[in-house]
């Protein structure tokens, strides 16, 4: 909100924004803009009083609030009518402002990261469209004054019982060696419009353009890139019904070009077949003529899969029995068939270290140490090199790779260059197996494979600035009662079970989660199910929990009917398991499983899409993150408590040096002996153990 005065410059008085509810998200663009107007007026009513209010909006249909037809009550939509009645008590004038003034409201409405380093004081008076987080922006006369301009059009029509589609490209005051019209074949008009955008961006890339203006008469292309594509991309280019959006491959290819090149694209709406003469009419008419010419005799154009972004999914190739036998007979000539993306070898890690000046200097000092005292040691040129010199005794070279080994013991960790530390932090914190955990768990994961001097400080800053964690991490209670000792027990002797739900129904029809937690090892099992009946509970416990880990001594639960029914009582009686029911309406009695429920729900919110349809697909990776994170009570990961070894994560396979990536071979007897020894020295209260 800003006051209007001819004597003083425009100054911001207040900011306001709020998220849309689950019902409002499903509104159309017009239905979203109108309640936003009503909410803004009512939110700032203490400032407005009885004065006139000027509302500037980039949504043109809102300007029809001033029309006489609407004032007379010609409104068929009851929802819009109620919102208009809410504005009747204010003197409101709506102006269409598709310019730099809308950058502020659009920036508040979108999620983005802020980088305020190096700024002594924020500048609120100058607001430009360059501050928006999106690469696709509305046209601005001031910002686009000297930028290259391109007119493009796509067409599709029937001719002699055949569908013909073409694209026309017209650059203003630019000489382009590429053709200006293309033949697409049997395609729709929407495909032709987005293909024209992709071709124009490809030509702009060859001309090394960073900013350009796209002039088009297609509302579909303009609104898709500016308003809808960020949400489509966040949902995996799939609709709420789990159907892929049309022309998704074209949108993704355009996004890859714009993102990789750091482009800023301004979209200008031009009127098709306008009767008003001018440069926009001439450019659009020429693009339309070239598109029709391209549909007849243009240069053939086909989409290539190599234009799509690189897939981040795991690739697993099948292997036959014959190939397995050949691999055992001649392991040197076999190829690796199971991989997680591209694994950087030691040579790649060495190359990355050579590009870092501080690490390269340190490598030379470790390889050729000074022979005449410390006089030959160069003075540190940076704080980074100074920090590495302090840890020189723990650094050594292995196959040209600078690694860190604390006092000659512990894991071998490679020294990470400055430019690659952000990637390591994203692997350990943002990935699904990272789980967006706190800085202690993230730091422990990183210290298993990597090292750099300011690791602790960087991890704290990264986790503190994580926007996803700020949005979905639940707040801790201020006053917490001290924990009580549960006494002597053994692994998998006491379980706590509970149901979570209903949650948004997934694409597989599941809307409930059965959580099972071991009170000693903190191991968590979470099983999706379409309902939470007693029969479903019995089947899940027998087929997926007890058959995998064995029978417990006792099972604790609340007094829900799915646990107190005759079916559950009969199962516990047959198996010889003691069933213990807690006090009614007292969830603190099942504190372990309730805490696990909160962790699971919090992590799922950070990874599932907005519709929640992929909840049960992301659940196994979330459980992997929980099981590989040290528990605050035991100080050990649940996976290590159950198996006696650390879980191997993708970060270990990608960045652990090759000579230590192979696990030590064990016989069955040696493994059981070491497992018993490991469990005997597990941190925590004194326990009584049974031999494995």
At 406-442, the pLDDT tens digits run 776 777 888 888 888 888 888 888 887 788 888 888 8
Res 199: pLDDT: 92
Q: What are phi and psi of 470, to 5 degrees?
A: -65, -30
Share of the chain above pLDDT 70, in %: 75
Q: Under a CB-based contact definition with an 8 Å cutoff, are residues 362 and 388 in contact?
A: yes
Burial class (CB in 10 A: 0-12, 13-18, 19+), 482: exposed
Residue 430 CA to residue 448 CA, distance in Å, equals: 17
Q: Under a CB-based contact definition with an 8 Å cutoff, are residues 486 and 451 in contact?
A: no
Going by DSSP bridges, is the β-strand pair 264-269/136-138 parallel, antiparallel, or unpaired?
Answer: parallel
User: Under 8 Å CB-to-CB from 573, ≥6 apart: which residues?
Assistant: none
Tell me the pLDDT tens digit for each residue of 114-150: 444 444 433 333 333 333 346 888 887 777 888 889 9
Q: Which residue has the higher pLDDT, 144 or 96?
A: 144
Residue 603 CA to residue 524 CA, distance in Å, equals: 14
DSSP helix/strand/coil, 509? coil
Tell me the pLDDT tens digit for each residue of 286-309: 989 999 998 888 889 999 888 888
Tell me the pLDDT tens digit for each residue of 356-401: 778 878 877 877 776 544 444 555 556 777 777 777 778 878 777 8
Maximum mean pLDDT: which of 53-62, 234-243, 551-560, 680-689: 551-560
Going by DSSP bridges, is the β-strand pair 52-57/181-185 parallel, antiparallel, or unpaired?
Answer: unpaired
Res 194: pLDDT: 92
Res 167: pLDDT: 92
Q: What is the mean pLDDT of residues 594-611?
A: 84
The residue with tokens 């009885």 is 50
Identify the sign of the CA torsion 584, 587, 592, 594: positive
The residue with tokens 């396979």 is 653
Residue 386 CA to residue 397 CA, distance in Å, equals: 19
- Nearest Cα neighbor of 142 from 96, 95, 97, 100 is 100
Q: Say yes or no to pLDDT of 106 above 70.
A: no
Domains of the chain: 24-108 (no CATH), 138-307 (3.30.420.10), 346-364+386-471 (1.10.340.70), 494-655 (3.30.420.10)
Q: Say yes or no to pLDDT of 20 above 50.
A: yes
Residue 298 CA to residue 184 CA, distance in Å, equals: 8
What contacts 24+ positions apart, CB below 8 Å, involve 380-388? 381/357, 382/357, 382/358, 384/358, 384/418, 384/453, 385/357, 385/358, 385/361, 387/453, 387/454, 388/358, 388/359, 388/362, 388/415, 388/453
Burial annotation 303-334 (CB, 10 A radius, 16+ → b, else e): beeeeeeeeeeeeeeeeeeeeeeeeeeeeeee
Tell me if the pTM is above 0.85: no
- Nearest Cα neighbor of 235 from 637, 659, 633, 608 is 608
Res 483: pLDDT: 61
Tell me the pLDDT tens digit for each residue of 274-288: 778 888 888 888 989
Res 516: pLDDT: 92
- Lateral strand order in the sheet of 554-557: 524-529, 512-518, 494-500, 554-557, 578-581
Residue 618 CA to residue 606 CA, distance in Å, equals: 10
Per the prediction, the chain carries an average pLDDT of 76
Res 681: pLDDT: 57
Structure-block tokens of residue 430: 């943002």
Q: What is the mean pLDDT of residues 486-510?
A: 83
C-alpha 311: how far from its chain's center?
A: 14
Q: What are phi and psi of 394, to 5 degrees?
A: -100, 0
Q: Say yes or no to pLDDT of 195 above 80.
A: yes
35 C-beta neighbours (distance < 10 Å), count:
17
- Lateral strand order in the sheet of 162-172: 136-138, 264-269, 211-216, 149-159, 162-172, 181-185, 299-300
Residue 273 CA to residue 281 CA, distance in Å, equals: 7
User: What's the Cα-to-Cα distance from 17 to each of 14, 20, 94, 146, rounded to whole Å?
Assistant: 10, 10, 19, 34
Tell me the pLDDT tens digit for each residue of 318-361: 334 444 445 445 544 443 333 334 445 556 777 777 777 788 78
Structure-block tokens of residue 459: 């991890």
Structure-block tokens of residue 157: 């029509």
Identify the sign of the CA torsion 61, 64, 65, 70: negative
- Nearest Cα neighbor of 644 from 595, 681, 687 is 681
Q: Say yes or no to pLDDT of 176 above 80.
A: no
- Nearest Cα neighbor of 257 from 192, 197, 178, 183 is 197
Axis crossing angle, helix 383-390 with helix 357-367, rounded to the nearest 10: 30
Res 334: pLDDT: 42
Residue count of the chain, please give it.
Answer: 692
Residue 644 CA to residue 637 CA, distance in Å, equals: 10
Say whether the peptide bond before residue 502 is cis (omega within 30 degrees of 0): yes
Count of alpha carbons within 13 angstroms of residue 504, beta-carbon side: 17
């Amino acid at each position: 909100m800003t006051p209007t005065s001819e004597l003083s410059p425009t100054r911001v008085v207040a900011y306001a924004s709020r998220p849309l509810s689950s019902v409002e998200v499903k509104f159309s663009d017009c239905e979203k803009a109108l309640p936003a107007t009503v909410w803004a007026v009512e939110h700032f009513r203490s400032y407005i009083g009885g004065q006139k209010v000027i509302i500037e909006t980039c949504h043109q249909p809102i300007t029809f609030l001033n029309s006489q037809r609407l004032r007379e009550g010609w409104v068929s939509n009851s929802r819009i009518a109620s919102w208009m009645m809410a504005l009747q008590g204010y003197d409101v004038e709506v102006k269409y402002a598709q310019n730099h003034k809308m950058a502020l409201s659009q920036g508040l409405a979108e999620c983005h990261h802020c980088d305020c380093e190096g700024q002594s004081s924020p500048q609120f008076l100058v607001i430009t469209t360059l501050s928006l987080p999106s690469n696709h922006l509305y046209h601005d006369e001031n910002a686009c004054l000297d930028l290259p301009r391109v007119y493009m059009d796509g067409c599709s029509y029937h001719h002699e019982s055949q569908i013909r589609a073409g694209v026309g490209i017209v650059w203003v005051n630019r000489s382009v060696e590429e053709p200006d019209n293309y033949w697409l074949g049997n395609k729709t008009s929407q495909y032709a419009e987005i293909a024209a955008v992709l071709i124009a961006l490809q030509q702009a890339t060859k001309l090394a353009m960073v900013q350009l203006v796209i002039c088009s008469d297609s509302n579909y292309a303009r609104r898709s890139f500016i308003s809808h594509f960020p949400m489509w991309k966040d949902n995996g280019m799939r609709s709420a019904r789990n159907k892929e959006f049309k022309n998704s491959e074209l949108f993704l290819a355009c996004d890859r070009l714009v993102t990789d090149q750091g482009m800023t694209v301004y979209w200008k709406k031009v009127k098709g077949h306008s009767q008003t003469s001018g440069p926009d009419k001439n450019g659009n008419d020429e693009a339309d003529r070239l598109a029709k010419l391209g549909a007849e005799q243009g240069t053939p154009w086909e989409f290539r899969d190599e234009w799509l972004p690189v897939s981040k999914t795991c690739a697993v190739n099948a292997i036959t029995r014959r190939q397995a036998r050949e691999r055992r007979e001649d392991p040197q000539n076999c190829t690796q068939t199971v991989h997680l993306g591209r694994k950087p070898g030691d040579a790649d890690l060495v190359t990355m270290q050579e590009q870092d000046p501080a690490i390269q200097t340190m490598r030379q000092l470790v390889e050729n140490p000074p022979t005449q005292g410390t006089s030959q040691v160069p003075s540190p040129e940076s704080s980074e090199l100074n920090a590495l010199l302090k840890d020189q005794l723990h650094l050594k070279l292995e196959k040209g790779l600078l690694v860190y080994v604390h006092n000659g013991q512990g894991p071998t960790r490679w020294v990470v260059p400055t430019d690659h530390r952000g990637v390591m932090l994203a692997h350990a914190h943002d990935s699904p197996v990272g789980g967006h955990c706190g800085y202690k768990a993230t730091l422990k994961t990183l210290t298993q494979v990597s090292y750099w001097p300011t690791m602790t400080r960087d991890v704290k800053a990264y986790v503190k600035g994580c926007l996803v964690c700020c949005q979905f991490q639940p707040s801790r209670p201020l006053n917490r009662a001290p924990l009580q000792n549960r006494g002597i027990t053994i692994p998998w002797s006491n379980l706590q079970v509970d149901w979570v739900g209903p949650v948004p129904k997934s694409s597989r029809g599941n809307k409930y989660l059965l959580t099972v937690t071991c009170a000693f090892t903190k191991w968590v099992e979470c099983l999706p199910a379409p309902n939470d009946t007693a029969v479903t509970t019995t089947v899940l416990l027998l087929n997926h929990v007890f058959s995998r880990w064995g029978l417990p001594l006792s099972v604790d639960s609340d007094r829900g009917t799915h646990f107190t029914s005759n079916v559950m009582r009969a199962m516990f009686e047959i198996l010889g398991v003691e069933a213990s029911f807690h006090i009614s309406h007292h969830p603190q009695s099942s504190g372990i499983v309730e805490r696990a429920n909160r962790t699971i729900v919090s992590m799922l919110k950070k990874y599932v899409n907005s519709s929640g349809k992929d909840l049960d697909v992301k659940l196994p990776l979330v459980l992997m993150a929980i099981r590989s994170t040290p528990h605050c009570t035991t100080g050990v990961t649940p996976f290590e408590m159950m198996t006696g070894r650390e879980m191997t994560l993708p970060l270990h396979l990608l960045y652990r040096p090759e000579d230590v990536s192979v696990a030590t071979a064990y016989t069955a007897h040696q493994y059981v002996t070491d497992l018993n020894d490991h469990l005997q020295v597990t941190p925590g209260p004194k326990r009584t153990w049974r031999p494995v």
